[in-house]
């Protein structure tokens, strides 16, 4: 049995896939004070539904928000930073860019290591050679000063350590010998690329979060062991699994752990539905995550910002906004209705949860509009309280001088406007025409808003999976292990030769393959040497794949374009591929300019589990009629409760009360359910 568990801001989801392909799901309230409690509760619930015991679980994959929440809330370890003398303030100086163009007094996030916790190392490494050697006696004295500061974690970031990590490794060994209980993050081990600010900021985040994540994973692993469950495997921001031990060492790799699982689930079901171009829209209780699948692949980024801090690590290209079912509606100083980014979270939750919440949320508004069924208990036995929702929304309506119903509709429209902006960021603003794509909503709240967002962007197709409410957990169960490595090489002119490219590429592939083979995933399949992504024969033989990306630029440019050459690693072929991509992106190519190969990035995946999803039950859903408010008017909507068998016809207006989510189908939308249980809806005829 494969088990995936995803922790969200409001609910914790679990999916169990049996050897026969049966999919069992469960959703319980999250436990922010200790997420492991919610994880174990979700596991017990899904095993009970599957009528199974823990000993039948072969793999436990986990996505969580521990690192993300700690970073957002500033609840991090006491962290020291060791940098080359003269550049210890590199993170505070940053890129000298204002956080907001017109808010001149707005400051970026404060460094996690305050000035008193920054230490200069008496050394200087150049890009090709040592300029000032690190004297062992001086290094010992430095570590003594660091120890006197009593840090819980130390980030070591020396100039040009991406080219020669010798000094960082020396300091790391000394810290471990002098302070064995203190966590150490080395930039050369974690990042491995140039640009000292981004490398330093990433390493500082990693050091500050790792002690907290280690403590959490040790608790969770111990509880899992007590239940006879396997040790959890952790989802990375890049969409692949790693061991809990590695995650404990490098927490920065998990900052987008939860959303990455959802992308994996969306890829799986979009492929099964025969759709290769999809906009994924994950709306939970706290936030909304958007990504785009083009030609069956999700774009990745080598750098992104979280809480205003750059992370120079591979991650799926996901855009997040603070709009979820628990997002709180409020009146701003100008009298306008606003929604989010503050959320009611899991405790107390929306007012309709009856747990003491008094602020109106998107969930309360949907309940008043009839799109959420009050007589269907939410996961965890939560009974929806319509009167509590009415009171909360009525208070805001009074301040806005609106009727309660008009205020509820306004809350939904404002939230949808925020989410539509997120969809445009990932499509229109990047030159992608959303009208050519299908929209796949998931998360507990996503399907209720899918049709409105699709119409806003001119999209005419919606794919709503039967497991939409727990799709992140399903993606975790279907995930494969992954390892990544990167190295800045700076090759140009005659140095950019076939031999140099192949040498650097092989060294990186050796590293990622060795790490994958030496992990708990050993034997699960690795791509053979010399095979790049897109080699279908290789993937068919091994069930695994690898990829190499070459980041290149014209001499004098500040940033690079990533080139994925799917043939032999020939320098001339890379130059041509770069020029072709530069022309596509910027409208021109320069045949006379010198081309530089700046960084090489390698990734390797282990074999993914074979997930055969069984067909849904043939028993027809219960049907009735409900009154729903749509576009300011009351309409009589068809209401379908339970799983939708293959061939079920859905004609709007309709409400489909699925297991862990509710699909709202407005007038004008209709479609059928396919063999996987996915509702395929279209606008118009």
Whole-number CA gyration radius for the chain: 26
pLDDT at 525 over 50: no
pLDDT tens, position by position, 170-210: 999 999 999 999 999 999 999 999 999 999 999 999 999 99
Q: What is the mean pLDDT of the chain?
A: 89
Domain boundaries, the chain: 2-71+214-257, 76-210, 482-605, 622-683
397-419 mean pLDDT: 94
- The predicted pLDDT at position 566 comes to 66
Tokens 């007012």 belong to which residue?
Answer: 351
List the one residue out of 72, 157, 78 whose CA is nearest residue 123. Answer: 157
> What is the predicted pLDDT for the residue at 341?
83
Note the pLDDT tens digit of each residue in 96-122: 888 888 888 888 899 999 999 999 999
Closest CA to 307 of 255, 374, 384: 255
Q: Is 70 exceeded by the pLDDT of residue 533?
A: no
What b/e readout covers 243-267, taking b as 16+ CB neighbours within 10 angstroms? bbebbbbbbbbbbbbbbbbbbbbbb
Query: In the predicted model, is pLDDT for residue 685 greater than 80?
Result: no
The per-residue b/e assignment along 597-606, b for 16 or more CB within 10 angstroms, e otherwise, is: bbbbbbbbbb
Pairing between strand 59-63 and 461-464? unpaired
For the chain, how far is it from start to end, CA to CA, in angstroms?
Answer: 42
Given a cut of 90, is residue 141 above it in pLDDT?
Answer: yes
Ranking 313-317, 559-563, 621-625 by mean pLDDT, the lowest is 621-625
3-state secondary structure of 227: coil
The whole-angstrom separation of Cα 540 and Cα 544 is 8
Mean pLDDT over residues 575-589, rounded? 92
pLDDT of residue 71: 87
Residues 6+ apart with CB under 8 A from 134: 121, 122, 123, 167, 170, 171
pLDDT surpassing 50 at residue 431 = yes
* 3-state SS assignment for residue 571: helix
Report the pLDDT averaged over residues 627-637: 88
How far is it, in rounded angstroms, from Cα 654 to Cα 448? 11
CATH T-level topology, domain 2-71+214-257: Nucleotidyltransferase; domain 5 (3.30.420)
Query: Residue 684: its pLDDT value, please?
Result: 79
- Residue 89 class from Cβ within 10 Å (0-12 exposed, 13-18 middle, 19+ buried)? middle
Q: How confident is the model at residue 532 (pLDDT cuts 50, 70, 90)?
A: very low
pLDDT value at residue 116 = 96
What is the distance between the alpha carbons of residues 485 and 505, in angstroms, rounded to a whole number? 10
Angle, CA 347 vertex, CA 255 and CA 229 arms, to 5°: 55
pTM of the entire structure? 0.88
Q: Are 210 and 185 in contact (CB under 8 A)?
A: yes
Mean pLDDT confidence for 443-454: 92
| Model confidence at 289: pLDDT above 50 | yes
Residues 253-275 have a mean pLDDT of 90
Q: Reduced to 3 states, what is the DSSP secondary structure of residue 234?
A: strand
Residue 531 has pLDDT above 50, yes or no: no
Identify the band that residue 534 occupies on the pLDDT scale cut at 50, 70 and 90: very low
Q: Mean pLDDT, to the nearest integer, of 267-296?
A: 89
Q: What's residue 447's pLDDT?
A: 93
Instruction: Please state which of the ranges 153-167, 332-346, 437-451, 480-494 shows the lowest mean pLDDT.
Output: 332-346
Question: What is the per-residue pLDDT for 219?
Answer: 94
Contact (Cβ atoms closer than 8 angstroms) between residue 65 and residue 8: yes
For the beta carbon of residue 327, count every other beta carbon within 10 angstroms.
32
538 has a pLDDT exceeding 70: no
Q: Which residue has the tokens 């406007």?
A: 417
Distance CA 668, CA 640 (A): 17
Instruction: Report the percent of the chain where pLDDT is more than 70.
Output: 94
């Amino acid at each position: 049995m494969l088990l995936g568990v995803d922790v969200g801001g409001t609910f914790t989801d679990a999916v169990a896939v049996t050897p026969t392909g049966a999919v069992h799901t469960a959703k319980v309230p999250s436990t922010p004070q200790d997420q492991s409690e919610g994880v174990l509760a979700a596991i017990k619930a899904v095993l009970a539904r599957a009528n199974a015991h823990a000993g039948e679980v072969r793999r436990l994959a986990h996505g969580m928000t521990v690192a993300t929440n700690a970073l957002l809330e500033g609840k991090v370890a006491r962290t020291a930073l060791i940098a080359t003398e003269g550049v210890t303030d590199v993170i505070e100086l940053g890129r000298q860019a204002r956080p907001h163009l017109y808010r001149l007094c707005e400051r970026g996030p404060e460094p996690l290591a305050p000035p008193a916790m920054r230490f200069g190392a008496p050394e200087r490494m150049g890009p090709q050679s040592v300029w000032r050697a690190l004297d062992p006696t001086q290094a010992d004295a430095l570590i003594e000063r660091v120890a006197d500061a009593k840090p819980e974690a130390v980030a070591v970031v020396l100039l040009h350590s991406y080219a020669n990590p010798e000094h960082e490794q020396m300091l790391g060994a000394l810290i471990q010998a002098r302070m064995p209980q203190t966590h150490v993050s080395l930039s050369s081990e974690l990042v491995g690329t140039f640009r000292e600010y981004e490398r330093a900021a990433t390493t500082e985040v990693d050091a500050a979060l790792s002690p907290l994540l280690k403590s959490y994973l040790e608790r969770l692993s111990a509880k899992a062991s007590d239940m006879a469950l396997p040790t959890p495997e952790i989802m990375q921001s890049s969409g692949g699994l790693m061991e809990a031990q590695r995650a404990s060492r490098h927490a920065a790799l998990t900052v987008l752990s939860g959303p990455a699982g959802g992308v994996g689930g969306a890829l799986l079901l979009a492929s099964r539905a025969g759709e290769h171009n999809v906009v994924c829209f994950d709306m939970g209780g706290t936030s909304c995550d958007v990504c785009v699948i083009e030609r069956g692949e999700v774009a990745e980024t080598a750098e992104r910002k979280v809480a205003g801090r750059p992370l120079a690590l591979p991650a799926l290209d996901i855009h997040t906004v603070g709009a979820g079912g628990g997002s709180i509606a409020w009146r701003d100083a100008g009298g306008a209705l606003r929604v989010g980014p503050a959320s009611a979270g899991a405790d107390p939750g929306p007012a309709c949860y009856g747990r003491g919440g008094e602020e109106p949320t998107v969930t309360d508004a949907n309940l008043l509009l009839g799109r959420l069924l009050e007589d269907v208990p939410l996961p965890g036995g939560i009974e929806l309280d319509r009167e509590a929702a009415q009171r909360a929304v009525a208070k805001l309506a009074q301040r806005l001088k609106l009727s309660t119903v008009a205020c509820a509709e306004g809350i939904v429209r404002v939230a949808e406007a925020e989410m539509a902006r997120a969809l445009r960021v990932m499509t229109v603003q990047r030159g992608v025409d959303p009208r050519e794509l299908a929209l796949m909503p998931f998360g507990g709240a996503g399907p209720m808003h899918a049709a409105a967002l699709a119409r806003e962007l001119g999209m005419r197709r919606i794919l709503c999976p039967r497991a939409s409410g727990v799709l992140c957990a399903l993606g975790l169960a279907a995930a494969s292990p992954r390892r990544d490595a990167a190295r800045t090489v700076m090759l140009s002119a005659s140095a950019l030769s076939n031999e140099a490219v192949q040498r650097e590429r092989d060294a990186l592939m050796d590293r990622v393959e060795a790490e994958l083979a030496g992990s708990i995933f050993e034997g699960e399949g690795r791509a053979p040497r010399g095979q790049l992504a897109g080699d279908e024969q290789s993937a068919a033989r091994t069930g695994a794949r690898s990829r190499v990306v070459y980041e290149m630029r014209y001499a004098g440019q500040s940033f690079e374009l990533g080139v994925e050459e799917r043939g032999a690693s020939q320098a001339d072929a890379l130059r041509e591929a770069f020029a072709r991509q530069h022309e596509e992106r910027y409208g021109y190519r320069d045949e006379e300019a010198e081309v530089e190969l700046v960084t090489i990035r390698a990734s390797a995946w282990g074999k993914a589990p074979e997930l055969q999803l069984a067909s849904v039950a043939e028993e027809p859903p219960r049907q009735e009629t409900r009154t729903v408010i749509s576009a300011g008017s009351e309409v009589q909507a068809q209401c379908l409760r339970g799983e939708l068998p293959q061939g079920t016809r859905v004609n709007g207006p309709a409400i489909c009360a699925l297991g862990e989510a509710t699909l709202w189908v407005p007038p004008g939308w209709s479609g059928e359910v396919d063999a996987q249980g996915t509702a395929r809806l279209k606008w118009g005829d």
